[in-house]
Amino acid sequence: MLCKLSIKNIGKSFKDYAIYFFTLILGVSIFYVFNAIESQTIMMNVTASKKNIIDLMTNMLSGVSVFVSCILGFLIIYASRFLIKRRNKEFGIYLTLGMSKQKMSFLLFFETFLIGIISLVIGLGVGIFLSQWMSILVVNLFEADMSSFHFIFSKSACLKTIIYFGIIYLIVMIFNTVMIGKYKLIDLLNARKKSEKIMVKNSFICLLVFVISISLLGYAYYMVTLGVEKTLDTAEKIFIPILLGIISTYGIFWSISGFLLKILSKAKRIYYKGLNCFTIRQISSKINTTVFSMSIICIMLFVTICVLSSSLSIKNSMTENLKTLTPVDIELIKARNLTEERTKKHYRYTFAMIEDSTLSLEETLEKFEINLEENFKDIVIYSIYRTNEVTLKNTLGEYYKEAKEKYLQMNYDTKEDIITISDYNKIANLFHLEPLSLKENEYILIADFDSFIPLREEGLKRNTNITINDKVYTPKYQKCINGFISISSNHINSGVFIVPDNAVDSSLLETETLLANYQKENVEEKIIELENHPYVNKTSLEAGTKKQIYESSVGLGALVTFIGLYLGIIFLISSAAILALKELSESTDNKERFQMLRKLGTEEKQIHKALFNQIAIFFLFPLLLAIIHSVFGIIFSNYILSTFGNDGLLPSIIMTSIFLLIIYGGYFLITYFCSKNILKER
């Protein structure tokens, strides 16, 4: 009997449940899709370095999945509480008829169970379908080739989805039971009769709060953009603008309705036109009663926009950078002059390696039976020197004291890299950089790591001299020269000192590096093969190839994109769903109001317009603030991620807008049509 009742309940209130169902199905399917990526990558032919990134990605995705399931869990609990509240009267009738609370709990339990099963089945179905499309994206992002189309079903992802959502539904059931236990009959029966008390906020206080919030927000914006170097000098301080942002967001939502209402009601010609005053009042009362959720939604949307656009732009710019940053095929680095003292610090150096470090790079290669001329062309071998006399502290000169207070976390005793001018010009020639020249007593600093350059230039501006072997050198330029000496995926050269050839001697030699292009295609495989050579454990020789960097960069880009997409979509769904549920749950109250308008003789067209405006503004309001937040958020994240460059920003913003439009806009339309439907019933 109870089961029959609950099945009928679900059928009856399907319209109310539509958004809930839709959200559940979307949640389940997205959860499945992202967890199924692992099994999709297994099918692809990828190299070892990509394999590593893929492993990293699947690990991260499953970590993120836990977080995502928490968010979905909260969303589902929130949504189900909403739906129960709507049915207060129904429960009241059950209680008056003498149904025990246990039985009512069972009724709800069974309903949740049914909804859970149905949404899981449909959601998994949709997920399996969607993941076939996802596999195309996966192949694309990893730039792998898939010879034929496979239908992929991931058993583990399926199982994981069932377990995670099973747990969520279980928690929902427990929550429902607790809620039922707290019910009092009188409240249930009178729930509908209570007329809403409108909290009329003092408009002066509203204005005050609004102005304070705006100024706080303005300061937070200033902190992350123009004033970023002054105000955010240590990593911990990043919490200040975040906190300010949250507080001011809450403040704005708290104050804006009272404040705007005051202004709008003064514009009497507009206010008293058609249903305007009704719509404005509806919205203001809704915003007034949902300050907290509005703030949460706004912040979630902000995170969504930032995460989506940054992750997509990172991926784009990463691949862009590679062309200029890896002008040669291979780089081999080998430590020289290793001593026992250094062995203590770095455990990875064995005695064999110390012995090997007395050999030159060519000699070591000979041990590997690699002939330079046969395998490589455009060869440049350069040496890096280091000395205790040239450390970050020394090169900053007088600025050191200030810098130490400002950048606490920096290690100021690190020895700086030094190379000779003739070595550098050889590299510059190979890398298509401008050649440089030096006088006897001059040095030049080259760097391309944007975040580090300002600090370096403080030292150069003060004409800080450096001393090597008792000889003093002054800076030729008072700024850093753009350049780099090794291949990498990003602009990460934080500074290399170029000195005259006779300034350094072999006693300061630290490492030797070879840059070259391959003679033939198969050299890459030969180099990888060296991993199995017996001499490999006896040397500190390390190889970095263009291909490796390219692949890991592509993989990293894909990883960031996937995680960004995953989190972004889930956040977007959650916020849109909360808004939609709020709006729909109030549609019964609204129904009476709109019915009233009909009796007064309002035209249907006017009613629909009022409804549309009401829902549209309710949806747009948090989005608008979130977009304003995001403009500054994206500027800041670009500053943080400046190593990646920001060439791909526009396409990624367009992509983000498309996502927003589809998901958020979709929820908006569903809400509008559902409410219209509810209002239609007479």
In the complex with another protein, which residue's Cβ is closer, 265 or 517?
Answer: 265
CB of 561 to another protein, least distance (A): 45
Contact (CB, 8 A) for 295 and 501: no
Instruction: Fill in the per-residue mask, 284 to 303: x = in contact with another protein (CB under 8 A), - = not in contact.
Output: -x------------------
CB of 125 to another protein, least distance (A): 42
In the complex with another protein, which residue's Cβ is closer, 196 or 521?
Answer: 196
CB of 271 to another protein, least distance (A): 8
What six digits make up the tokens of 202?
């003092």
CB of 265 to another protein, least distance (A): 9
CB of 185 to another protein, least distance (A): 23
Stretch that binds another protein, among 18-26, 274-282, 429-437, 469-477 (CB under 8 A): 274-282
The DSSP code for 198 is P
The CA radius of gyration of the chain, in Å to the nearest whole number, is 32
In the complex with another protein, which residue's Cβ is closer, 415 or 593?
Answer: 593
In the complex with another protein, which residue's Cβ is closer, 276 or 319?
Answer: 276
Q: How many helices and strands in the chain, by DSSP H and E? A: 27, 10
In the complex with another protein, which residue's Cβ is closer, 280 or 299?
Answer: 280
Q: Give 145: exposed, middle or buried? Use CB within 10 Å, 0-12, 13-18, 19+.
A: exposed
In the complex with another protein, which residue's Cβ is closer, 197 or 323?
Answer: 197
In the complex with another protein, which residue's Cβ is closer, 161 or 282?
Answer: 282
In the complex with another protein, which residue's Cβ is closer, 198 or 211?
Answer: 198
In the complex with another protein, which residue's Cβ is closer, 253 or 566?
Answer: 253
Q: Give 161: exposed, middle or buried? Use CB within 10 Å, 0-12, 13-18, 19+.
A: buried
Instruction: Fill in the per-residue mask, 240 to 269: x = in contact with another protein (CB under 8 A), - = not in contact.
Output: ----------------------------xx
Size of the site for another protein (CB under 8 A): 30
What is the SS3 assignment for 383?
Answer: strand
Contact (CB, 8 A) for 421 and 436: yes
Under rule CB under 8 A, which residues in 556-615 are in contact with another protein?
A: 593, 596-606
CA distances to 150, 151, 640 from 145, rounded to whole Å, are: 13, 16, 34
- Does 148 contact another protein by CB under 8 A? no
Task: Report the distance separating Cα 263 and Cα 64, nearest Å.
Answer: 45
- Does 681 contact another protein by CB under 8 A? no
DSSP H or E run through 432: none
Residue in 120, 142, 151, 106 with CA at minimum distance from that of residue 32: 120
Interface with another protein (CB under 8 A), residue from 145, 196, 341, 374 = 196
What six digits make up the tokens of 432?
């298509």
- Does 276 contact another protein by CB under 8 A? yes
In the complex with another protein, which residue's Cβ is closer, 329 or 583?
Answer: 583
CB of 575 to another protein, least distance (A): 25
- Does 195 contact another protein by CB under 8 A? yes
Buried b (16+ CB within 10 A) or exposed e, 362-396: eebbebbebebeebbeebbbbbbbbbeebbbbbbb
Stretch that binds another protein, among 273-281, 339-347, 501-509, 527-535 (CB under 8 A): 273-281
Interface with another protein (CB under 8 A), residue from 36, 115, 157, 275 = 275
CB of 87 to another protein, least distance (A): 22
CB of 249 to another protein, least distance (A): 25
Interface with another protein (CB under 8 A), residue from 4, 197, 345, 432 = 197
CB of 236 to another protein, least distance (A): 45
Buried b (16+ CB within 10 A) or exposed e, 333-353: bbbbbbeeeeeeeeeebeeeb
Residue in 132, 156, 129, 65 with CA at minimum distance from that of residue 567: 65
In the complex with another protein, which residue's Cβ is closer, 81 or 598?
Answer: 598
DSSP 201-237: --HHHHHHHHHHHHHHHHHHHHHHTTTHHHH--SGGG
Stretch that binds another protein, among 195-203, 234-242, 368-376, 451-459 (CB under 8 A): 195-203
Task: Report the distance separating Cα 50 and Cα 552, nearest Å.
Answer: 6
CB of 285 to another protein, least distance (A): 5
The DSSP code for 565 is H
- Does 281 contact another protein by CB under 8 A? yes
3-state secondary structure 491-522: CCCCCEEEECHHHCCHHHEEEEEEEEEECCCC
Interface with another protein (CB under 8 A), residue from 230, 237, 273, 404 = 273
CA 445 to chain CA mean position, Å = 34
- Does 520 contact another protein by CB under 8 A? no
In the complex with another protein, which residue's Cβ is closer, 97 or 600?
Answer: 600
CB of 289 to another protein, least distance (A): 11
In the complex with another protein, which residue's Cβ is closer, 51 or 598?
Answer: 598
Contact (CB, 8 A) for 428 and 515: no
- Does 218 contact another protein by CB under 8 A? no
In the complex with another protein, which residue's Cβ is closer, 266 or 344?
Answer: 266
Contact (CB, 8 A) for 444 and 476: yes
User: CB under 8 Å to 275, separation ≥6 — which residues?
Assistant: 597, 602, 606, 607, 609, 610
CB of 589 to another protein, least distance (A): 9
Interface with another protein (CB under 8 A), residue from 66, 97, 186, 200 = 200
Task: Report the distance separating Cα 57 and Cα 61, nearest Å.
Answer: 6
Residue that has been written with the tokens 């979307």 in this structure: 26
CB of 262 to another protein, least distance (A): 13
- Does 282 contact another protein by CB under 8 A? yes
What six digits make up the tokens of 568?
């972004």
In the complex with another protein, which residue's Cβ is closer, 345 or 599?
Answer: 599
CB of 655 to another protein, least distance (A): 40
CA distances to 250, 292, 322, 409 from 622, rounded to whole Å, are: 11, 11, 39, 38
- Does 413 contact another protein by CB under 8 A? no
Residue that has been written with the tokens 């239908």 in this structure: 151
CB of 196 to another protein, least distance (A): 5
Residues within the interface to another protein (CB under 8 A):
195-198, 200, 268-269, 271-278, 281-282, 285, 593, 596-606
